[in-house]
Structures are given as structure tokens and as C-alpha cells.
A and B are shown apart, each in its own frame.
Chain A
Amino acid sequence: MQLIEGLNALSAGLILLTAFGMVATRQVQGVMRFFIVQSAFLAASALLIGVGRGSIHLLALGVITVLAKVIAIPWVLRRMLPSDLYERREINQAINIPTSLLLALLLAIAAEFFLSPAVATSTDPIVRVNLPIGLAGILIGAYTLIARREAIPQLIGILAMENGAFFAGIAVAPDLPLIAELAIAIDVILIAVVIGVLTRNITQTIGSSDVSLMSELREEPRPWR
């Protein structure tokens, strides 16, 4: 059991690292790859905790995560969107990378502080590790979303936030009914599909996937048609 806790802590550290990586990388492909690696570590963690606690729900969740986030979503996104969106080497960002990394670090520290009263209610080491790093993953994913101006990194930011939420969930809610977990997994795929469709429409309409170019809706809107 101690080995499982140790390996779980290892994947927690690596999940945090991939979250930083998503903030630090400049390429769209890079963000996608970090997301795939992060999902793989999440699945590994779910399988580990499932074995450690004897919970079949978590084993199933690990398998579902691998199928959905590591295989299905990247494949679907690749197929749906034109490939020149992926070859962008320089994503437009609002803040430069070293400052972004510092902000991401501050978010991780903030997550840890914020959760300390909640974490104090439990003595389980898995909960103590997973809960703060899950929230840190959520916050850093949200930051990725805000700081990037391209469509695909924003979508991956949302999915990375889901990874963070799940990572916290597998520690504190290991025996959530399977249907709920299945539904959640399907939901994630649907999100990817819908956003993919939307991105395709946007790219076709405005000619680029830089979503900060769409900024007409303010208090002086254009007339209809």
C-alpha cells in the first residue's frame, strides 16, 4: 500500500509538471501532447488507487480515461479540424512564458493553501496529495485558457481542468456509482466534439483560429445582417 501511495504521489508530481508544461509550451502540438501525457498519468493514478482500495469503479475509470482522453479525443480533434491549425509553432499569448510560469506556480501554491482546512479533515495520504494537486490542475488549466488566444489550446485548457477535477475525485470519491462516471466520461467527449465543431465553423468563417480576433460584441454592437 505504501508503494501505491508513493507511485500515486509520483504521478501527482508529474501531473503538476505537465500542467506547467502546458503553460510553458509555445506550440499547439506541444499543448496537445502534454494533455495526452497528463491524461495518461491520471489514468495510471486511477488504476493504482483502484488496485489499492479494491475499487472496481476506479479501475473502470482508469480504462475509460485512457480510451477517452488519451486515444479518442486527440484522434477526434485531429480528424475534425484542418491540420494547419496544428502546425502553428507560435501561439499568441497574452503574457510571456516566464511570467506565466510564475503565475502558474502561484496558483499551485494558492490551491494548496486554500485546501488546507479541507485536507486537515482526512489522514489518508492519497487524499492529502490528490486534492491540492487536483485543484492546482484546475486553476492552472483555467490560466492556460485565459492566457492563450488560440482555439485549440483553450479547448485543451478546459479538458485539463477536467483532468484536475477527476484527479481530486478519484481520491475523495472512489466509489461513485459507475453510471455517473460513465456519463461524465461521455460528457467529456461530447464537449470535445462540440467545441471541435464550433472551432471548425469559426475557422471557416473568420479564416483563422485566433479567437481574440472576434471581439465585436461590446456595448456598440453591429446592426443585424
Chain B
Amino acid sequence: MAIMVVVSLPLFAALLCWIKPLRKISWGITVVCLTASFALSIAIAAQVLWYGRVIAIPGWFEVDGLSVLVILLVSWVCTLAAIFAGGYMRHGSQQTELRWWFYCNYNLLAFALIIVPAFASPNLVWVGMELITLFAILLVGFESTPSALEAAWKYAILTLMGAPISLFGFFVLYWAYRTSGGGTIETWQGLSAMASTMSPNLLKLSFLMVFVGFGAKAGLAPMHVWLPDAHSQAPSPVCAVLSGVKTTVPLYAILRFLSIILASPEARIGNWMVVAGLFSVGIAAFLLLQVRDYKRMFAYSTVEHMGIILTAAGFATHAGASGAVMQMLNHSITKSLCFYTAGMVLLLLETRQIKEVRGLFRLSPFVASALLICSLAIAGAPPFPIFLSEFSILSAGLRSGHNVAVIVLAILIVIAFVAIFLQVNSMLFGKPDPAATVGKVPWSCRTAVVIAALPVVVLGVYVPGPVQALLTLAAQQLGGH
């Protein structure tokens, strides 16, 4: 029951924002509904920890450890981004009359993001994923400047191109499921149960198709080319949602599928996933060296972390799975913080270029310290959580014998760290440009940043018991031996 409420709250908020008299308080409606969603998802997480799995409508809406983790992440990031958006949209956006449309769209995106992990059937997951893409396209192109529209168009074409490919993959999966004797209702759980009896050729074919199709949405190389453009041109709260959770959700679907394939003894995909993941990390690391726009820098960092998660899942062991899940959690909370900070820098200095941002510590210590924290965190420095998860991934890789992969991964992570740190360094220190105009950072943005920074700072040193239990439960879903 709680699941249905969580899922329908954002939809309800979107409908409310549409109604004319309520348009003025659309921000308030959004924040209230999303906070309620977040609270309810914590309740569902508690239920899942107790029972192992929560079923709202059998065959349609079922939530287990991995799903509830993703739902938690989605509602956390969406809520905070909504709070951030209040101040940001008021000060930084060009389109003042269409603000209600922004919130309406935002709620629809949140709805689609929450509903995908809650779906139990892969075909409905496909439908949900397309809905996510559609709403995100509208949000990316919100500013209606030529570059925003270009980013939106590229995003639209590249991700929608993946849609029929993954649909084909899902059809083949359904075929394999039915020909090995499955019932008419196909759920993730049913699929993993039947994994060993399904034909490995068909499984491999459908996985490849789904990997290409959803990988384009998740930002895995070489289908990642839309990501830097879209994530730099969209309004910053939207970027936080896009980078933080919208790339995680397709990756969640790919990982679910991967766990089904790994359960089948004959199809050996794990090593290919390691290679694909390393490819993403490599491309991102090298592109990070030449980036000139700090929002694009964070976008490339998203590509890198998606690659790391995929590599970890490819190790096909319990340790690799727990590393992957932890990385998912840490990346979402850290990356959204990064984009809030980027939004604040944008509000302050009105430029996206790194070389035009200097001396942030003198201009606004609050923003500068936030930037320092989040860039250290995203690059993987201790005592921040990403360091913990990357370390556990590397050790999982060593334990499962993928030594070469671990060495390559470590080198690439170091390259990315250096690249990010060099860029951020030049932004933080030095003397500010005297001719630059300095904007204001509204209180709602500051509030959002402070709240978002809390888990980033805490989880690096202390992982509370329930969180650890949830992570373990989620890792079990990913399978491995």
C-alpha cells in the first residue's frame, strides 16, 4: 500500500501544479509531496529490511532490497533538488512565467523515476524508462536557448534510439522465458528463478540489446555523447536529478538483467562487463583532462562512476556486488551535491567556464567550501564515502582474480582524481577577477546544500546499521558467488 502512495504522490503533485490557481505555489506543493514521498520510502525500506520483500500488487509492483535502495536515492535527490530549485529558478532562470510548467514536469520526472524500481515486470520497466526519457527531454530543453535545445535534441535522439533496441531485447527475453515454460506474468523474480533453463544464446542476445539501449540512457561509453551536453545545459537542480539518479536507474535495470544472466551457468558475460565498464571509465578519465566547463566536468565524472559500478558488477562476486551497490548510493548523494554546488557557482558568477572562475574562497566561503568538499568527495578522496566504495571494489576485484582490471581501474581513478582536482584548484584559490559581477545565493539553495552534505560527510566515516543492512540486502539481489 505504501508503495502505491509513494508512486502516486509525485503524479498527484504534478496534477496540482497544473491547476491554474495553484500554480503560484507549485514549488511548495512539490517540496511537500516529495518530502512525504521520502518519508514513506524510509518506511518501506524498514518494511523491506524486516520482511525481505514488499508486494503491493503481485506481478506488477514488487519491491525488494535493490529496488528500495533506488527508490530511497531517487526520493532523497528529488526532494533536495526541489528545495534547491526554489531559489535557483527564482534567480537564475530566464523563463519566469513557465515556472509552474517546470515543477509540473519535474514532478512527472520524479514519478517516472520512482515507479521504475517499483515495477516487477521488465516490460513495464521499459515503458517507465521511456517516460523518464521523455520528461527529462522536456526539462533539459526548458531554457529554450539554442544550446539548450541542441543538448535536448541530441539527448532525445540518442536515448530514444536506444528504446527500440532495448524493446527488441525485452521481446526476446520474454520469448526465452515462455519457451522454457514460464507463466504469462513475467517478473524479475520469476526470471531469475528460470535463468538456468533459458537458452543462453537468447539470453545473451537480449542482454546485448538491452545493454545497448539502456546503456545509452545510463551514459556508458560509447553511447555517452549526449551526457555532457545535456547535463551542462539543463538547469542545475535538473542536472542533479539527471546525474544523480537518472543515470542510476537504467544502470539498475542493466544490473538486474546482469544478475539474471550470471545465474545462467553457460552465458559468461561478467568479463565483458568489466571491459565495458573500464572503457567508460577510461574515456571519462581522459576527457576530464581537457574539460573547460565545470558542469561538463561533473558530467564526465558521472560517466566514470557508471563505468566503475558496471565493472564492479562484472566481477560477479558478492564482494563486487556490495561494492557496486555502495558505489551507487555514494555516487548519487555525492553527485547531486556537486551539481547543487555547481548551480551556486553559476548563480554567483554567471559563467560556466572554469578559467573564468577564480578565487572562490574570497568571493563566498560557503560556496567555496562546498565545492571543495564535493569535488574531493566525487574524486574519491578519504574520508568521503566514495573512497570507501572504490576501495572495496578494488579489493573485491583482487579477490576474484581480475588483477589486470583492478590495476587499470586504479590508474584511471587516479587520473580522474588529478584532473578534477586540478580544475577545482584553479577555481578555488587565487585572486578573484575584480571585474566580475557577483550574484546572490538564495537561502533555499544553501539549505539544500547543507542537508545534502550531511550524508556525504557522515557516510565516509560511519555507516549506520540499517544502511549497512539495506546495502547487504541489495547486494544479495545482484547475485554472484
Q: Which residues of A contact B (CB under 8 A)?
A: 115, 117-118, 121-122, 134-135, 138, 141-142, 145, 151, 154, 158, 161-162, 164-166, 168-169, 172-173, 175-177, 180, 183-184, 187, 190-191, 194-195, 197-198, 201-202, 205-206, 211, 214-217, 219-225
Contact = CB atoms under 8 A, between A and B. Distances in A.
Contacts of B167: 162, 165-166, 169, 184
Which 4 residue pairs across A and B have the least CB separation, nearest first? A214-B150, A172-B175, A161-B164, A169-B171
Nearest to A120: B201
Contacts of A177: 121, 123, 184-185
Contact of B164 (A138, A197, A224): A138
Contacts of B292: 219-221
Contacts of A161: 161, 163-165
Contact of B202 (A118, A145, A215): A118
Nearest to A127: B175
B163 A158 contact: yes
A223 B355 CA distance: 11
B165 to A, nearest CB: 6
A195 B296 CA distance: 25
Contacts of A162: 163-164, 167
Contact of B201 (A117, A142, A211, A225): A117
Interface string B289-315: 011110010000000000000000000
Contacts of B149: 198, 201-202, 205-206, 214
A225 B202 contact: no
Interface stretch (B16-24, B72-80, B129-137): B129-137
Nearest to B168: A165
**Most chain B CB neighbours (cut-off 10 Å) among A121, A164, A168, A187:** A187
Contacts of A121: 179, 199, 201-202
A145 B351 contact: no
Interface in B347-388: 350-353, 356
Contacts of B346: 224
B352 A224 contact: yes
A83 to B, nearest CB: 21
Contacts of B150: 214-217
Contact of A223 (B137, B168, B233, B356): B356
**Most chain B CB neighbours (cut-off 10 Å) among A121, A151, A158, A176:** A176
Contact of A180 (B123, B165, B205): B123
Given A201-B149, A205-B145, A224-B351, 8 more contacts: A138-B168, A158-B160, A162-B164, A172-B175, A176-B171, A177-B121, A194-B138, A219-B292
Nearest to A187: B130
A211 B233 CA distance: 17
A178 to B, nearest CB: 11
Interface in B133-172: 134, 137-138, 141, 144-147, 149-154, 156-157, 160-161, 163-165, 167-168, 171-172
Interface of B: 121, 123-124, 126-127, 130-131, 134, 137-138, 141, 144-147, 149-154, 156-157, 160-161, 163-165, 167-168, 171-172, 174-175, 178-179, 184-185, 199, 201-202, 205, 228-229, 232-233, 290-293, 296, 346, 350-353, 356
Contact of A168 (B121, B168, B202, B293): B168
Contacts of A180: 121, 123-124, 127
Contacts of A166: 167
26 contacts: A121-B202, A138-B168, A145-B161, A161-B161, A162-B163, A168-B171, A169-B167, A176-B171, A177-B123, A180-B121, A180-B127, A187-B127, A187-B130, A191-B160, A195-B160, A197-B138, A198-B137, A211-B153, A214-B150, A216-B147, A216-B150, A217-B147, A217-B154, A217-B229, A221-B232, A224-B352
A212 B23 CA distance: 37
Contact of B127 (A118, A158, A183, A217): A183
Nearest to B121: A180
Nearest to B152: A198
A8 B9 CA distance: 45
B344 to A, nearest CB: 14
Nearest to A117: B201
Contacts of A194: 134, 137-138, 156
A14 B131 CA distance: 31
A135 B385 CA distance: 43
B147 A172 contact: no
B164 A175 contact: no
A205 B146 contact: yes
A225 B92 CA distance: 11
**Most chain A CB neighbours (cut-off 10 Å) among B137, B157, B202, B353:** B157
B290 A187 contact: no
A183 B137 CA distance: 19
Nearest to B122: A180
